[in-house]
Amino acid sequence: MSKPSPELVSAAQRALYASEGYMVLEGVIPEDALRMLREECSYFLGYMDARFDAGLVGGGALSFRGKRYFVNNLYRYSPRTWRFIFGDLMAEVCRATLGEEAYLFNEQWVVKGGEQGMDFSWHQDSGYVKFMDPGTVHPPYVTCWCALDDVDEANGTVHLLPHSRGGTAKRIIDHERDPETNDLIGYTGDDPGIAIEAPAGSVVAFSSYNLHSSGANTTRKMRRVYLPQYAPAPLRHSRTGERFNLAVPFLKDGHIVYNQALDTPERWGGAAPPGLAA
């Protein structure tokens, strides 16, 4: 795959992330990587529909067939996706946001169906961690919201509240669960946030402390996003000390150290690829 420009992230973008918790990198995903991600997304949507057909998607899930899909931590099912997750582009984003050390914490496909794609409530990504571990104290991780389609308000783009407007630079808010959608809700105010409009191939990088939401998809086409998240250190449960979600080494001293041969669920968490799962 093509390598990104060494000047991918400007000083102004780094400063915006440092102060407000987000930055938008328009059109930075190379065309070959974008094509690959779209193909892989189709595979995982088929996988999820098969799980719906088999009755394997529980009532507490965030996914609703045909409306919105969240497909988490199955990158080992793909022979190609790892090259993007642990590639030069994501490395540059991590260096600009986290620093010299980074671990893959989570990855997921987030897709809204055409004409019936549901909205997603205001929340902090770290709010989901706190909901499961109320005693958590962890530095913010970075969410890389990778648009596989042009995104705007019509198809349910992400809305962001900068830290200065959400008061979230140094705190994780207590969230409540919506019993109908299973969303966690961390904000019910009237600030609409900043609606991100960007072309396909853009990366919206934001802190896990930033409040964000997304609207319904009112267009005829799907709105597809790939979303890897990286932490500056492995997250651990505050009470048990156990690893929280994934902790796959990516950057050390600013260099890519990911080793696919060593990437197993036993070491770093997540699911084994088909044929190896017990």
pLDDT at residue 73 tops 50: yes
> Tokens for 41?
């997304």
Q: What is the pTM of this model?
A: 0.93
Q: What is the domain-level CATH number for residue 106?
A: 2.60.120.620
Q: What are phi and psi of 49, to 5 degrees?
A: -65, -35
For residue 1, the model assigns a pLDDT of 42
Residue 273 lies in a domain: no
Nearest-Å Rg of the Cα atoms of the chain is 18
Q: How confident is the model at residue 60 (pLDDT cuts 50, 70, 90)?
A: low
Judge whether 102 and 266 are in contact, CB under 8 Å: no
Residue 170 lies in a domain: yes
Residue 230 lies in a domain: yes
Which of these ranges, 94-108, 115-129, 186-200, has the smallest mean pLDDT?
115-129
Count of structural domains within the chain: 1
Which of these ranges, 45-59, 154-168, 246-260, has the smallest mean pLDDT?
45-59
H or E element in which residue 212 lies: strand 211-214
For residue 99, the model assigns a pLDDT of 97
Residue 4 lies in a domain: no
Residue 25 lies in a domain: yes
Which residue range is the domain that position 85 belongs to?
Answer: 11-268
pLDDT at residue 130 tops 90: yes
Q: Of 161, 212, 182, 229, which is closest to residue 67 (Cα–Cα)?
A: 182
Residue 278 lies in a domain: no
Residue 84 lies in a domain: yes
Beta strands in 11-165 (DSSP E): 22-25, 68-72, 102-112, 120-123, 142-147, 158-161
pLDDT at residue 32 tops 70: yes
pLDDT at residue 2 tops 80: no
Residue 275 lies in a domain: no
Higher local confidence (pLDDT), 180 or 101 = 101
